[in-house]
Amino acid sequence: MAALSDLLPAAAIRLDVPVPDWRAAIRTAGGLLVEAGATTAAYTAEMVANVAENGPYIVIAPGFALAHARPSPAVLRTALSWVRPAAPVDFGHETNDPVHLVVALAARDQSAHTAALAALARLLADPGTARALREAPDAEALRTVLAGPDAGCQRADAAEARPVHTILTVCGNGLGTSLFLKTTLERVLDRWGWTRHVTVEATDALSARGRASEAVAVLTSREIAGMLGEIGIPVAAVEDFTSPREVDRVLRDLYDV
Active-site positions? 68
From the list 82, 66, 20, the residue with the least C-alpha distance to 171 is 66
- The span from the CA of 127 to the CA of 88, in Å, is 18
- The span from the CA of 173 to the CA of 217, in Å, is 18
Q: Are strands 79-85 and 101-106 parallel, antiparallel or unpaired?
A: antiparallel
From the list 36, 151, 153, the residue with the least C-alpha distance to 104 is 36
Q: Is the peptide bond before 98 cis (omega within 30 degrees of 0)?
A: yes
- The span from the CA of 111 to the CA of 102, in Å, is 21
Q: In this structure, how many other beta carbons lie within 10 angstroms of the beta carbon of residue 102?
A: 28
From the list 173, 154, 182, 167, the residue with the least C-alpha distance to 242 is 182
DSSP-derived letter for residue 161 is S
Q: Using the CB atoms, write b or e for 162-180: b if 16+ within 10 Å.
A: ebeeebbbbbbbbbbbbbb
Are the CB atoms for 108 and 31 separated by under 8 Å? no
